[in-house]
């Protein structure tokens, strides 16, 4: 009797264990499809669309126009937003003092020129006197001392001509130097572009090196960006890239070609610097704007 009870208990335990296992199986199979998929990584995204870098739009010609000499701003001829051509007058310093110095130097040049002509004329007279003295000496009319006197006097005038010629050259160079200083009072555009900023106003005194205007060209547009050093062997000059910006319509994209790949790697960041030039007109792009540069050939 006891042996039969033990057999019944064992059978019941086996059935209970089998029932628990069968109950767990559908739970596992039902939970597996409901598990959310892992989000795509950035590496996977770059495999589909290539590598995307970010960099500013730059131009080659962009600088602050500085004063080349001290003075007071007398006139301003350009305002921010004005398109200017190369050499166009932007402003002018008070040039009354330097103009007077230039006129004085020019007068000195004219005076020395006249004096030089006078010495040349007198030398011709002395040469004629010397020729006559030689003939008289040959005719034994005058002594040798009189002949030598005429020779020395003619030679002295030749030295005076040389001295006046050097004085004239010095005066001309002084005049040229003053004219260059006068030219520094004219603030001109170094290249064609747009006046982005004006730092001075009429009547303001400026010193040598003070910023007066910020002038920037509008073309050709370039983008400057960096890439990890692992891409160095995969980059080639004239390779095409795509430039876009979230600040302009998404469908507007511009083509650019690589013009410069840095031959060295920045040890602090492990990156290489790249420069690409935008091909064709790009009316929505402006210098200083941050853009996205897509390199489809890089993975």
Alpha helices in 139-255 (DSSP H): 144-183
- What class is the 62-94+185-216 domain? mainly beta
Residue 108's nearest CA partner among 162, 157, 170, 163 is: 170
The token pair that represents 73 in the structure block: 């701003």
Q: How far apart are CA 211 and CA 107, in angstroms?
A: 35
Query: pLDDT by residue for the chain (299 residues), tens digit each?
Result: 444 444 444 444 544 444 444 444 343 333 333 333 333 333 333 434 578 999 999 999 999 999 999 999 999 999 999 999 999 999 999 999 999 999 999 999 999 999 999 989 988 888 898 888 888 888 888 888 888 888 888 888 889 999 999 999 999 999 999 999 999 999 999 999 999 999 999 999 999 999 999 999 988 999 999 999 988 888 888 889 999 888 887 678 899 999 999 989 999 999 999 999 999 888 889 888 999 999 887 76
CA distance 57 to 283: 13
45-60+220-295 folds as Elongation Factor Tu (Ef-tu); domain 3 (2.40.30)
The H or E element that residue 206 is part of is: strand 205-206
What contacts 270, CB < 8 A, 6 or more positions away? 228, 229
- The pTM score is 0.67
Residue 257: predicted pLDDT? 93
User: What does the pLDDT read at residue 299?
Assistant: 64
**Dihedral sign for Cα atoms in the order 190, 196, 202, 207:** negative
**How far is Cα 100 from Cα 6, in angstroms, rounded to an integer?**
132
Q: Using an 8 Å Cβ cutoff, are 256 and 241 in contact?
A: yes
pLDDT at res. 24: 41
CA distance 185 to 144: 63
Read off the tokens for 112. 């020395």
Q: Is 93 exposed, middle or buried (0-12, 13-18, 19+ CB in 10 A)?
A: buried
């Amino acid at each position: 009797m006891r042996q039969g009870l033990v057999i019944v208990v064992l059978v019941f335990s086996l059935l209970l264990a089998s029932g628990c296992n069968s109950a767990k199986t559908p739970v596992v199979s039902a939970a597996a499809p409901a598990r959310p998929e892992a989000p795509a990584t950035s590496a996977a995204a770059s495999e589909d669309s290539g590598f995307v870098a970010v960099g500013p739009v730059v131009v080659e010609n962009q600088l602050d126009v500085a004063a080349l000499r001290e003075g007071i701003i007398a006139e301003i001829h350009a305002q921010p937003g004005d398109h200017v051509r190369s050499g166009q007058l932007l402003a002018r310093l008070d040039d009354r003092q330097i103009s007077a110095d230039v006129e004085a130097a020019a007068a000195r040049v004219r005076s020395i020129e006249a004096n030089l002509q006078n010495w040349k004329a007198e030398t011709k007279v002395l040469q004629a006197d010397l020729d006559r003295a030689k003939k008289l000496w040959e005719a034994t009319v005058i002594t040798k001392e009189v002949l030598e006197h005429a020779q020395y006097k003619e030679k002295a005038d030749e030295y005076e001509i040389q001295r006046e010629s050097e004085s004239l050259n010095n005066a001309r160079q002084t005049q040229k130097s003053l004219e260059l200083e006068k030219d520094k009072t004219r603030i001109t555009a170094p290249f064609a572009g747009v006046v982005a900023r004006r730092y001075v106003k009429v009547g303001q005194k400026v010193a040598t090196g003070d910023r007066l205007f910020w002038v920037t060209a509008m073309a050709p547009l370039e983008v400057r960006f960096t890439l990890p050093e692992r891409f160095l062997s995969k980059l080639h000059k004239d390779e095409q890239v795509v430039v876009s910006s979230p600040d302009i319509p998404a469908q507007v994209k511009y083509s650019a070609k690589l013009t410069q790949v840095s031959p060295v790697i920045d040890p602090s960041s492990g990156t290489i610097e790249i420069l690409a030039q935008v091909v064709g007109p790009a009316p929505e792009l402006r210098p200083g704007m941050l853009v996205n540069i897509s390199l489809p050939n890089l993975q």
